[in-house]
Amino acid sequence: MEKETVGFALCGSFCTFKKVIPQMKRLVDEGYKVIPIMSHTAYTTDTRFGKATDFNKEIEDICQNEIIYTIKGAEPIGPKELLDVLVIAPCTGNTLGKLANGISDTSVTLATKAHLRNQRPVIIAVSSNDALGTSARNIGTLMNSKHICFVPMCQDDYINKPNSIVADFKYIPDTVREVLATKVQPQPILL
């Protein structure tokens, strides 16, 4: 029997894709229906970490669903109640700022707004070099927002990047299960 439907949104922290995509596969392997969502930048940009078309193909092969990567594609998520939970992994500082300030001008931020209108949970897996800098206030705002939870996170390189925080992506499936079961923030948040 198929479990709940998980929206899985990726933003442009390209260095984390090889850690995030296996968690998407774990959710599919556990029986969840996974709807992939990508920001336009994540969907179209080739980087030193890989080609966009390669990542897109891998994600669509895993999920057996087409990627939502436009605002038009994301808009029906709310009215059609397409998702039980939305995961944003990786969630960049840019997206954190937009979410904290109610800006919905990308496929990921509009998917979030559309999903939250149904009062269903959003799970954020932070990946930001500025999470303990200017983005800290946005994380704080989101931590105090209804229906928003976080994947456990920690400083990833406190010597060379003291403001950088990255979620421990292996906890995404555990966080999804716990949030769907309890509707509250799993603990601990900080590792």
Residue 169 lies inside a defined structural domain of this protein: no
Residue 80 lies inside a defined structural domain of this protein: yes
Residue 71 lies inside a defined structural domain of this protein: yes
- Give the pLDDT of residue 143: 96
Q: Report the candidate in 119, 149, 153, 108 with the shortest Cα–Cα distance to residue 7.
A: 108
| Cα 63 versus chain centre, distance | 15
Residue 191 lies inside a defined structural domain of this protein: no
- Give the pLDDT of residue 3: 85
**Across the chain, what does the average pLDDT equal?**
96
Structural domains counted in the chain = 1
How would you label 155-180 residue by residue, b for 16+ Cβ within 10 Å and e otherwise? bbeeeeeebbbbbbbebbbebbbbbb
**Which H, E and C letters describe 28-67, residue by residue?**
HHCCCEEEEEECHHHHHCCECCECHHHHHHHHHHHHCCCC
Could you tell me where the DSSP H helices lie in 30-171? 40-44, 52-63, 71-74, 93-100, 107-116, 136-143
Residue 170 lies inside a defined structural domain of this protein: no
CATH of the domain at 92: 3.40.50.1950
- Give the pLDDT of residue 2: 64
Residue 89 lies inside a defined structural domain of this protein: yes
What are 29-77's pLDDT values in tens digits?
A: 999 999 999 999 999 999 999 999 999 999 999 999 999 999 999 999 9
